[in-house]
């Protein structure tokens, strides 16, 4: 995702004039591959151990913005967040799962006092998804509920190899961890894989079964100014992964991989299940690369709002479709990377507001949606009176 963010920042789609992108990673070979591929003199490679506070502080010194693309479940989120505050550098991260969201928002006044801006959860989901919710909320005078969905489908010959759509730990957590949803006007913890709902979507998605998963949007959107005060009583987030892969992830959780971070002792050696699974899937993909067919990824993100407009019952829908496009060549996940780049550049290109914000409380939604369209995302917003 971080490599994709760099791609978009340095592309012809740039919103701001970017002089240097300091690309940091713990592995020099990853940075070198990206720098060689992009061949852009604005890339400043730097091998960095983010757990070294001295090196981290030195790296942040003089930066206009810190973009944290370190996986959330690696456990470094709060340390990087605090390092940006200490260096008085604006901060942005990809969030995910909502593990640190409440803790980060609780530091709002400290960031205000320091005059530092932080926008958290600014990838695709969360991130763009929050913008869809704000767009829906802005269409309604009163809000009963907003329901947020994401579905992904693969088109092409079935792949005999399981390929994770993103971080393996994140996928396992989505299937194995309880989630927090906003129901009947309050936050409620829901068991894993509950909230099952089947919707008929256009092709290639078709009939999709959605379920609750842990995410940050329910923790922020229903409490946001301009949404909370419109009377919202329900906000939910639901996920659908490709039909053929869904059963595989369910099976892995049934096999015990849901406890992915709890070490196993095998022949006197401790191994975390997630590290074993990562290594196994990586080896399987490498060994069977010749058997892996070409597949096209199709995503649909949509928020459905119900309430009242001009005194009458109304519904609002904001939808973004991400279909295969030559622009996305070289990206692992164009949606997440491009959205993080959009958020970063809009933050840099607008007057700053100090504090800690979720995307729905910080960005101008119309400008944000225009940037999506510039990247060939298909955006549709409509309101209907009932």
Stretch 260-277: mean pLDDT, rounded?
Answer: 94
Cα 122 from chain centroid (whole Å): 6
CATH number of the domain encompassing residue 87:
3.40.50.720
Asked whether the predicted pLDDT for residue 276 surpasses 90, the reply is yes
Is residue 248 domain-resident? no
The DSSP bridge partners found for residue 117 are 355
Residue 59 lies in a domain: yes
DSSP string covering 302-362: EEEEEEEETTEEEEEEEEEEE---GGGTT-S-HHHHHHHHHHHHHHHTS----EEE-GGGT
Q: Give the model confidence (pLDDT) of 290-315 as tens digits.
A: 999 999 999 999 999 999 999 999 99
Mean pLDDT score across all residues of the chain: 96
328, two tokens: 């996305």
- CB-based contacts of 133, cutoff 8 Å, min separation 6: 146, 148, 217, 221, 227, 235, 303, 305, 318, 360
In a domain, 225, yes or no: no
Distance (Å) of CA 340 to CA 9, 28, 257? 9, 23, 30
For the segment 240-263, the average pLDDT, to the nearest whole number, is 94
Read off the pLDDT band of 97 (50, 70, 90). confident
Q: 231 in a domain, yes or no?
A: no
* The total number of structural domains that make up the chain: 1
pLDDT at 40: 96
For residue 236, give both structure tokens.
């939910």
CA–CA gap between residue 68 and residue 44 (Å, rounded): 16
- On the question of pLDDT at 246 being above 90, the answer is yes
- The mean pLDDT value for 232-236 works out to 98
- Three-class SS of residue 94? coil
Taking residues 63-76, what's their average pLDDT? 91
Is position 55 within any domain? yes
Residue 313 lies in a domain: no
Q: Which domain holds residue 52?
A: 2-119
CA quadruple 376, 125, 147, 185: dihedral sign: negative
> Is a pLDDT exceeding 90 seen at residue 95?
no
Map tokens 């992904």 to a residue: 152
pTM, to two decimals? 0.95
pLDDT band at 75 (very low <50, low <70, confident <90, very high): confident
- Report percent pLDDT > 70 for the chain: 100
- Give the pLDDT score at 386: 83
State yes or no: pLDDT of 143 exceeds 90: yes
Instruction: Give the tens place of pLDDT for each residue, 314-363.
Output: 999 999 999 999 999 999 899 999 999 999 999 999 999 999 999 999 99
pLDDT of residue 236: 98
Rg of the Cα atoms in the chain: 21
The answer to whether residue 82 is domain-embedded is: yes
For residue 258, give the 3-state DSSP assignment: coil
Tell me what pLDDT residue 73 has: 82
Which pLDDT value is given to residue 150? 98
Average pLDDT score over residue span 217-235: 98
205: nearest Cα among 280, 271, 269, 300 = 300
Q: Is residue 96 pLDDT above 80, yes or no?
A: no
Average pLDDT for 217-239: 98
Q: How confident is the model at residue 177 (pLDDT cuts 50, 70, 90)?
A: very high
283 within some domain:
no
Q: Nearest Cα to 13, choosing from 305, 365, 244, 337?
A: 337
């Amino acid at each position: 995702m971080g490599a994709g963010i760099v791609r978009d920042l340095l592309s012809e789609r740039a919103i701001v004039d970017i002089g240097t992108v300091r690309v940091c990673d713990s592995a020099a070979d990853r940075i070198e591959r990206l720098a060689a591929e992009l061949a852009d003199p604005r890339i400043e490679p730097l091998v960095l151990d983010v757990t070294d506070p001295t090196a981290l502080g030195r790296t942040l010194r003089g930066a206009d913005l810190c973009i944290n693309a370190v996986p959330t479940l690696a456990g470094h989120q709060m340390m990087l967040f605090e390092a940006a505050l200490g260096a008085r550098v604006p901060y942005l991260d990809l969030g995910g799962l909502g593990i640190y969201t409440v803790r980060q928002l609780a530091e709002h006044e400290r960031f205000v006092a320091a005059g530092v801006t932080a926008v958290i959860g600014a990838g695709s989901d969360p991130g763009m998804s929050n913008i869809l919710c704000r767009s829906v909320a802005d269409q309604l005078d009163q809000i009963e509920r907003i329901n947020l969905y994401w579905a992904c489908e693969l088109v092409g010959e079935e792949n005999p190899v399981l390929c994770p759509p993103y971080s393996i730990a994140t996928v396992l957590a989505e299937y194995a961890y309880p989630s927090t949803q906003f129901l009947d006007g309050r936050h409620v913890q829901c068991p894993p894989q509950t909230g099952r709902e089947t919707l008929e979507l256009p092709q290639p998605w078709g009939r999709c079964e959605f379920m609750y998963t842990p995410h940050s949007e329910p923790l922020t959107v229903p409490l946001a100014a301009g949404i909370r005060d419109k009377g919202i009583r329900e906000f939910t987030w639901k996920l659908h992964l490709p039909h053929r892969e869904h059963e595989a992830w369910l099976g892995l959780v049934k096999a015990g991989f849901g406890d992915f971070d709890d070490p196993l002792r095998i022949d006197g050696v401790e191994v975390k299940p997630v590290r074993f699974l990562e290594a196994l899937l990586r080896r399987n993909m490498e060994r069977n690369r010749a058997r892996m067919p070409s597949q096209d990824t199709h995503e649909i993100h949509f928020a459905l709002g119900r309430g009242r407009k001009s005194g009458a019952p109304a519904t609002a829908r904001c939808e973004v479709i991400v279909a295969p496009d030559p622009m996305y060549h070289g990206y692992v996940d164009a949606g997440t990377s491009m959205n993080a780049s959009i958020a970063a550049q809009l933050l840099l290109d607008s007057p700053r507001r100090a504090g800690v914000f979720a995307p729905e409380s910080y960005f101008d939604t119309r400008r944000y949606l225009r940037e999506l369209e510039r990247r060939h995302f298909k955006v549709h917003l409509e309101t209907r009176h009932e």
